[in-house]
Chain A
């Protein structure tokens, strides 16, 4: 009985560690677009302008729709810092103000869980969002940032 308990505790600890490794701290954050999007790589500057609402169209003229997971998702803090240069509280205030003055294009739409962002990007031709690499599925395309893909050395968008 005591041996069974020890085994259970060890199994839970291992599972927790595996979950943290797969989707927790320290992972890269992927920029994802619809598979029909012709863009494969994007500069960090263009990416920031897209999420800030300063660029509204893809090179083919289609409309860009920015999406973000909710602030509770672990990748949110890193992406907000990278894309907006803001802390989470600053970003919350920024989003409230954008809504208040009717400039909703300046902030990405809060889409809930990372899986929801992936699901929306998969069905909206002009959508772009950010999610943990572990949440990416084959239904979407991952963009390179300045020629670097998630996992490459020097990839700029990581959780830590």
Chain B
């Protein structure tokens, strides 16, 4: 009996992995593009390459309501459903955004895991310092902690006014959607 259950489970996992492999990741990415477009966020890229379990994008640009926000040299998205991850490198903010933050970001990453099914975790590192953020689906709440760099503190002090300073020198930000 147990053996039968284990075999069926293995077949289930195999089916799932094969399904992920066969899924057209490029077209799934187009679906994400469309969903973002509904939120007025435009995501475009110069090159798109499918990998067995995701997509790799190059020269990606992000704009909001047609206003360029940022570009990224390389973005990779991995889909395992139970663990999804997105990594972006070589990010440069637009001139508009760079009035509020240092324009270069070395890394932005976000991941979703079934271990924490209600949250998405994100990290970012760059000339501004580092950021850890958590978005909670259930509460529709974004919470972020920023460790500001010297550049952010000295040259972009105005931006820090939007954040709450904590006792340990870090800054926090919270927003409900």
B partners with A: no
Which residues of A come within 8 Å of B, CB atoms? none
